[in-house]
Amino acid sequence: MPELPEVEVSRLGISPHLIGQPIKQVVVRHRQLRWLVPEDVHLAEGLTIENVRRRAKYLFIDTAKGSIILHLGMSGKLRVVNIDTPVIKHDHVDIVLTNGVCLRFNDARRFGACLWQDANSPEMAMIAALGPEPLTDDFDGHRLYDLSRNKSVAVKNFIMDNKVVVGVGNIYANESLFIAGIDPRKAAKQVSKKSYLALGVIIKQVLRKAIEQGGTTLKDFTQADGSPGYFAQHLRVYGRKGKACEVCECEIQSVTLGQRNTFFCEQCQK
């Protein structure tokens, strides 16, 4: 499942091709995605794209009258292609621009979304309920500590809660907790304020580094074989069960927390 850095790299990759361009047509081949694609997405036709922004893992393609909202779900990909590029299996939505280029949304598992947010309507409930962005001043270790005091849930599940902070997905939660030296199984309320202050900084660093690494793949958004998805990066614990810890050489362990694979070093994380 694409996580926040992958979605942010998607935004960076498609933005130069979309901003300032008028939308000629929105082509919907399959309406049944995670939610039914509304007819209102066609309201964007004839309007100019003013901005492409991200909120959590949702991408907003903004026009004067509203925004097309895209979510990549578990398998979604975005490509910037010429309109005459042959359609392939699972190409569900095209946002066709007047210059002959289109943004093509492909989603094999159909857990993604294409929605419409009217500029004059209240924010959708699923967006309004989201916590702060992790790379802004609204999020820090103080917030983590304050919200954790009565939480018995495992700290890994706690920092993955979108009401606490958005975009700390499974990979980056594992990596951040390892660097911070915090056992992911530990109850959120048992983690000290000092540890949370460090963790807040580390989460920002881990996500920024991932976005920077993903920047090397931006050219892939204009290639017919699809967007970069998970880009190459060095992971210290995620997916390394049974391998030696890079710090202490103990064997990396794995358990399931919240139906997610969780990787950690018993020696380094307390």
Give the pLDDT band of residue 234 (cuts 50, 70, 90). confident
109 assigned ligand-binding residue: yes
* Cα–Cα distance, 11 to 137 (Å, whole number): 21
Structure tokens at 235: 């992971």
Q: Residue 63: what pLDDT? A: 98
Does 99 have pLDDT greater than 90? yes
Catalytic residue among 3, 6, 8, 175: 3
| CATH code, domain with 147 | 1.10.8.50
Position 269 in a domain: no
Task: Give the count of beta carbons closer than 10 Å to the beta carbon of residue 99.
Answer: 12
Position 135 in a domain: no
236 assigned ligand-binding residue: no
108 and 183 housed in the same domain: no
Q: How far is CA 59 from the centre of its chain?
A: 9
Position 207 in a domain: yes
Position 244 in a domain: no
Q: Residue 229: what pLDDT? A: 53
Give the tens place of pLDDT for each residue, 118-144.
Answer: 999 999 999 999 999 999 999 999 999
Percent of the chain whose predicted confidence (pLDDT) is above 70: 93
29 and 95 housed in the same domain: yes
Give catalytic status of residue 260 as yes or no.
Answer: yes
Catalytic residue among 31, 186, 209, 260: 260
Position 247 in a domain: no
Classify each residue of 160-173 as buried b or exposed e, where b means 16 or more C-beta atoms within 10 Å of its C-beta.
Answer: bbeebbbbbbbbbb
Give catalytic status of residue 2 as yes or no.
Answer: yes
- Give backbone dihedrals phi and psi of 113, rounded to 5 degrees, phi first: -150, 150
pTM recorded for the entire structure:
0.91
Q: Residue 224: what pLDDT? A: 46
Give the tens place of pLDDT for each residue, 170-229.
Answer: 999 999 999 999 999 999 999 999 999 999 999 999 999 988 887 655 555 555 445 555
Position 154 in a domain: yes
Domain of residue 163, residue span? 141-235
Give catalytic status of residue 8 as yes or no.
Answer: no
Give catalytic status of residue 212 as yes or no.
Answer: no
Structure tokens at 91: 């190409």
Position 243 in a domain: no
Structure tokens at 3: 């996580």
Catalytic residue among 11, 57, 104, 156: 57
Classify each residue of 117-136 as buried b or exposed e, where b means 16 or more C-beta atoms within 10 Å of its C-beta.
Answer: beeeeeeeeeeeebbbbbee
